[in-house]
Structure formats: C-alpha cells, structure tokens
C-alpha cells in the first residue's frame, strides 16, 4: 500500500500574540517565533505508520514550505516514514488553500499515486481545515474529515468515524484511494527512539520545485490563489479597560459592585 | 445591473431539522443581498424536505433549489459536492455561503476545489465594500497579535465562497406569509458518488450548557494548569449559572470540548457577561467574544493584550481571586 502523510511546520501557538503582520503586504512576520510540527500531524503520521504495519507498503511524508521545514520531515523519518519530500520553491510562496492543495496534489498525482493520504484535520495557525479536502477533490478521490476511528473491511474499503457536533458522529464507508483528515482521538502517538533517529539519516530525502513537478505556474503560490489579503487593521475596541487593585477580597467586592452597577445580571 | 447579485446559501438539514448555523448564514446572505440589491437562493439537499424548503422561504430566501432523493437523506460528501458544483456551473451564482458546521467545513472546500474558486474560513465578518468603484465582498479574519484584523478579498473568479461560523450572523425573522419559488432539481446517483457513503448518523445533545445563547460565559485559557484550578473555574461558572468555554489550549487539555471552544475556529458569542480567566488574549480567541456586553479579564500577566480589550481587568493569580469571587457570589 502506498501511504502519503502530509505535515506542516507552524509557528508555536504559545507565541501567537507575538506574531505581527506587515502593515504593507499583510504577510505574517514570525521572526524569533519558534517553529513546531502541527500537533494533529503527529496523529496523521501515527495512523500512517499503523496502516503500514497492518498492510505493509511504503510511507512517504511530504510538506510544502521553506527549506527550514526539513526539520519536521527529519522527525517523521526518525519515527518510521520511509522517505521524505519537501516541496519548496519561491514560486509556491503566498499560496492560499487552493494553491497549496494544487501543489501537493500535483506531486501525488505525478510521483506517487497514493492508496491512502493522511492529514491532520487542521493546523493550529491557519486552522481552516481546507487543504485536506481540496487535495482529495483535485485528485478526484473521496475524503473524510474529523476522523476519530478507522476500521478496515478489507485492503480497499474502510469505515471511518467522522466526528460531528456534541460528540455525535457519522459512520462513513470509503473505497480507496481516499484521504483521511484525523483528529487527536484517533490514536496515541508513539515515542521517537534513538534507533529511529540513527536510521533516519540513511533514508531518502528529496526537495522538489515547480520545474520538477511541471506545475502550471498560474496555479501555484500567489498567482494561483483566488483569495488574497488586502491589509491588516487595528480593531477599534471601545471598552472601559479599568484595572482593579487591592486585596483579593477588595477586588471581588468591587467586581460584584461593578456587575451590579452595569446592570448586567 | 450589478453583476454581484446572486447570493446562494447552502442550508444544511439533519433528520428533517434545519441547522441553526445555516439559518444564521442565510441571515448574512440576506444582509449582503440588501447591499447589492440582489437575490438570495438557498440550496437544500436531503430526502422528504419539501416542508423545509417552504420554511427557508419564510426565513427570507427568494427561492430554493431543492434536491431530494432517498440516497441523499444523510450527508454524502461526493454526491453533495457534485450536486452543488453542477448547480454552480449551470446558474453561476456570485457568492456562495455555507454554515461552518462540521459537515459544512467538510463540504465547502471540496466544492471550492471542484469549481476552482476561492474559499475563506472562520471570518468574523463579511461585508460589501467598494473597491476600484466596484462592490467587492470582504472577509475579516482575526490577525495573530491582539486587536489586529486581516481583510481578505477574492479575485474575479466566482462564486466567492465563505464558511460562516456559529454566532457571526443572526437568524432572520420567520414570516409565514412570505412567498418564493421552489425549484426542483433531479438527482441521479453516479458511480463516483458511491465511492463514499455515510451509512449512519448519530446525533447527540450537548453534555453541558452550550456557550451559544448563554447570558453569562466563563472561559479559561492556558493559564489554567491543574485540575484544582480548572475546578475553580467550573465552580465559578456554576455559581453564576454560566456556560463554560475556553481557548484552544483549554480544549487541548480537555478541560472543555471543541463545541465550547471560543474564537475563530469555534464559537462567536455575544453574552451579557463574559469572564476570561488565564488567557492572554490572542486575536483568534478574542474575536469570539468581542460582541459581549461586558467583559471581565483575569490574568497574572499585567502586559497581556486581554487588558486592552476588557471592561474590567484583574491582574492577579486566579487561585487568589476566583475563590473570593465564588464566596462573595454565594453570600450575595
């Protein structure tokens, strides 16, 4: 079975309040903000490893990003991925979800033809959750998002539990090839081992650009993005911004008084 | 004639009931249509849904494209994607909105990819602005740093698509005298539709008070580190009769469920009183409660951006202040 896991390096959410946006271009300025692997992508890789263990096959891990994104691919190789691919090119910069999905889908269509694709349900930075279903659609294969459980009828059919509101769910029967976007509940992520790290350096790693993928230049990066940022603005916040001081008892007293005076309750 | 005047809203139904977030999204569609002197059409897919089509007209749609078939009773992702995409190709709407339910955010990206158009998620607002002398749909999303917003536009490819989160817009008034057209659309299953089949849907009721619609909401952030601290927050909510919400770190720590997540990827709410505890105030969180009538913020860090966005700020350890608040509320 050919398994592809899509992962993404993101800015550490702990540091989100320190991220600023360029007032001219609207692009994100994240210097000095540490980068981490998107948390749900760990679950996607874990699920990929389990499928490989169950049916055998090869597991390719792929990301689109700047050269520094290699870090998260090395981590995936150490955990057990067989090969890693970094899609990196200046032409890919400024991509919205459609252009990102197009680039990843073109790589898979031309180089892998996967049986199953796994993604984290959403990233913690953009959090749109759009790229995964869009990859599937561009490959003309089915997808299931918010997957919290998978069982296999046979090697080409699976049943996915798709979470909906308030703990409800859909049971979805899917024929492979297909894409699953997973949530945290799907599995417990394994630990990295020293042996895994040692083995990782012998595994295949490649970087592919726009020319390697023979992509349509009008479909990638900023050019291929039907949505764009026109600017960033300071929100007008009309609040009283009164800071209370005193002992905890005094403060609690004042809070109750304020709530009473403001006639809220 | 303006060329931006056909606004579509996909209305989700589950087990014969219209989803609230879809009706709120219809409300946003009606508001945009007023600015553009346009028409609002709904797309409704399911089985035995004609009564619901009339209901949608009473809520303000000018017409409803109705696609009914026993095979469409439950959400079928490929079939629904194909149906909506084919309707788009045939009728060329200018704007298409979908409520950001779990199913809506599964469906919308697939439709956008199939018709190769732009889609924005989690907008805190959608409005029409005049850009280069043309009416243009503008989506507002929260920036990263506190108090910043980012504006997004679409290029010339139509329809301009957006998912609209719960609470961003208001459900329109119901007027049972309203008239509109129901346009029946035939459906015939194709092999590709059957590559994926929803075989069962299990719906659950909220296990705790939902944050949407609650008069008071107490919300916790990553400043809550222990079970004891979380219990304090919960006790405060209980004594106030408040719903309990939180930030992504609170959700990740499983203090709250995703259903009570506040912010751009969760709920947008407008309670009378919002109390934020142990959250510094990242924009993707604060955008979820900026419409609250009164905001109280409690956080240890005096430089936290949340103190620029509240009515009343308490720069203290929650372990000291929250027990006092609970005690005084109990005795008052």
User: Is residue B1 scored above 50 in pLDDT?
Assistant: no
Domain A2-219 sits in which CATH superfamily?
HUPs (3.40.50.620)
**Among candidate residues B252, B91, B33, the one with its CA nearest the CA of residue A185:** B252
Report CB contact under 8 Å: A240, B199: no
B15 and B136 assigned to the same domain: yes
B222 and B93 assigned to the same domain: no
| Higher per-residue confidence, B145 vs B284 | B284
Tell me how far apart the alpha carbons of residues B224 and B136 are, in angstroms, rounded to a whole number.
43
Tell me how far apart the alpha carbons of residues A233 and A22 are, in angstroms, rounded to a whole number.
10
Q: Beta-carbon neighbour count of residue A241 at 10 Å?
A: 15
Q: What domain range includes position B237?
A: 216-331
The conformational region for residue A246 under phi > 0 = left, psi -120 to 50 = alpha, else beta, is left
B259 and B187 assigned to the same domain: no
* Reported confidence tier of residue B247, pLDDT bands at 50, 70, 90: very high
Helix%, strand%, coil% for chain A, nearest 5: 35, 30, 35
Report CB contact under 8 Å: A235, B290: yes
ipTM reported for the complex, 2 dp: 0.94
User: Is residue B324 scored above 90 in pLDDT?
Assistant: yes
* Reported confidence tier of residue B38, pLDDT bands at 50, 70, 90: very high
Which residues from A are below 8 Å from B290, CB to CB? 235, 237
Last residue of a domain, one of B127, B160, B195: B195
Number of domains within chain B: 2
In the block, tokens 């960033």 appear at A232
**Among candidate residues A71, A69, A45, the one with its CA nearest the CA of residue A59:** A45
Task: Check CB contact of B307 with chain A, cutoff 8 Å.
Answer: yes
Report CB contact under 8 Å: B321, A251: yes
pLDDT means per 10 residues, chain A with 265 residues, are 96 74 65 86 98 96 96 96 98 96 98 97 87 98 98 95 96 98 96 95 96 98 95 84 94 93 80
The secondary structure element, H or E, covering residue B123 is: none
pLDDT confidence of residue B123: 84
Which residues from B are below 8 Å from A130, CB to CB? 105, 108-109, 112, 119, 121
Q: Beta-carbon neighbour count of residue B58 at 10 Å?
A: 16
Task: Check CB contact of B203 with chain A, cutoff 8 Å.
Answer: yes
Which CATH number do you get for residue B230? 3.40.50.1220
Tell me if B37 sits within 8 A of B124, measured CB to CB: no
Tell me if B137 sits within 8 A of B38, measured CB to CB: no
Is residue B206 assigned to a domain? no
Q: Which residue(s) pair with B18 in the sheet?
A: B13
pLDDT digits (tens, 9 = 90+) for A110-152: 999 999 999 999 988 777 899 999 999 999 999 999 999 999 9
The pairing of strands B160-164 and B119-120 is parallel
pLDDT digits (tens, 9 = 90+) for B107-156: 999 999 999 999 999 888 999 999 989 999 999 988 776 667 889 999 99
């Amino acid at each position: 079975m050919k398994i592809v896991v899509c992962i993404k390096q993101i800015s550490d959410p702990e540091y989100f309040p320190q991220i600023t946006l360029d007032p001219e271009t609207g692009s994100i300025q994240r210097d000095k903000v540490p980068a981490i692997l998107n948390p749900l992508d760990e679950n996607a890789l874990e699920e990929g490893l389990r499928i490989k263990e169950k049916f055998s096959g090869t597991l390719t891990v792929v990301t689109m990003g700047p050269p520094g994104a290699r870090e998260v691919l090395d981590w995936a190789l150490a955990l057990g991925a067989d090969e890693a691919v970094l899609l990196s090119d200046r032409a890919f910069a400024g991509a919205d979800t459609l252009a990102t999905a197009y680039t990843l889908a073109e790589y898979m269509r031309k180089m892998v033809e996967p049986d199953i694709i796994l993604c984290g349900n959403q990233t913690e930075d953009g959090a749109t959750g759009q790229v995964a279903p869009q990859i599937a659609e561009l490959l003309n294969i089915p997808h299931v998002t918010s997957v919290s459980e998978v069982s296999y009828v046979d090697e080409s059919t699976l049943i996915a539990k798709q979470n909906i509101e308030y703990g409800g769910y859909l049971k979805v029967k899917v024929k492979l090839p297909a894409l699953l976007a997973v949530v945290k509940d799907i599995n417990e992520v394994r630990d990295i081992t020293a042996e895994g790290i040692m083995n990782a350096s012998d595994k295949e790693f490649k970087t592919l650009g726009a020319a390697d993928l023979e992509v349509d230049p009008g479909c990638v990066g900023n050019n291929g993005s039907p949505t764009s940022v026109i600017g960033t603005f300071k929100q007008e916040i009309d609040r009283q911004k009164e800071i209370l001081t005193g002992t905890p008892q005094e403060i609690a007293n004042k809070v109750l008084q304020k709530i009473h005076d403001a006639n809220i309750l | 004639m303006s060329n931006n005047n056909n606004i579509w809203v996909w209305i989700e139904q589950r087990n014969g009931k219209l989803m609230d977030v879809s009706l709120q999204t219809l409300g946003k569609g009606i508001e945009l249509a007023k600015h553009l002197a346009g028409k609002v059409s709904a797309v409704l897919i399911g089985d035995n849904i004609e009564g619901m089509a009339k209901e949608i007209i009473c809520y303000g749609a000018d017409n409803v494209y109705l696609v009914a078939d026993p095979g469409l009773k439950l959400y079928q992702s490929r079939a629904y994607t194909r149906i909506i995409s084919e309707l788009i190709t045939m009728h060329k709407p200018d704007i298409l909105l979908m409520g950001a339910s779990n199913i809506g955010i599964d469906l919308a990206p697939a439709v956008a990819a199939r018709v190769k158009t732009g889609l924005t998620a989690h907008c805190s607002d959608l409005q029409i602005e005049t850009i280069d002398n043309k009416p243009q749909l503008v989506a507002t999303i929260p920036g990263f740093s506190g108090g910043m917003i980012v504006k997004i536009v679409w290029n010339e490819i139509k329809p301009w698509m957006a998912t609209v989160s719960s609470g961003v817009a208001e459900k329109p008034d119901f007027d049972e005298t309203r008239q509109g057209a129901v346009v029946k659309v035939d459906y015939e299953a194709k092999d590709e539709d059957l590559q994926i089949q929803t075989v069962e849907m299990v719906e659950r009721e909220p296990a705790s008070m939902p944050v949407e619609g609650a008069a008071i909401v107490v919300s916790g952030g990553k400043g809550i580190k222990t079970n004891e601290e979380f219990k304090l927050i919960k006790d405060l909510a209980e004594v106030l009769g408040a719903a309990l919400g939180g930030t992504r770190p609170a959700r990740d720590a499983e203090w709250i469920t995703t259903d009570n997540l506040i912010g751009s990827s969760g709920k947008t709410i407008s309670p009378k009183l919002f109390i934020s505890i142990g959250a510094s105030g990242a924009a993707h969180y604060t955008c979820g409660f900026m419409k609250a009538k009164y905001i109280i913020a409690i956080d240890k860090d005096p430089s936290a951006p949340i103190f620029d966005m509240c009515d009343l700020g308490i720069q203290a350890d929650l372990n000291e202040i929250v027990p006092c608040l609970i005690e005084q509320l109990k005795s008052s």
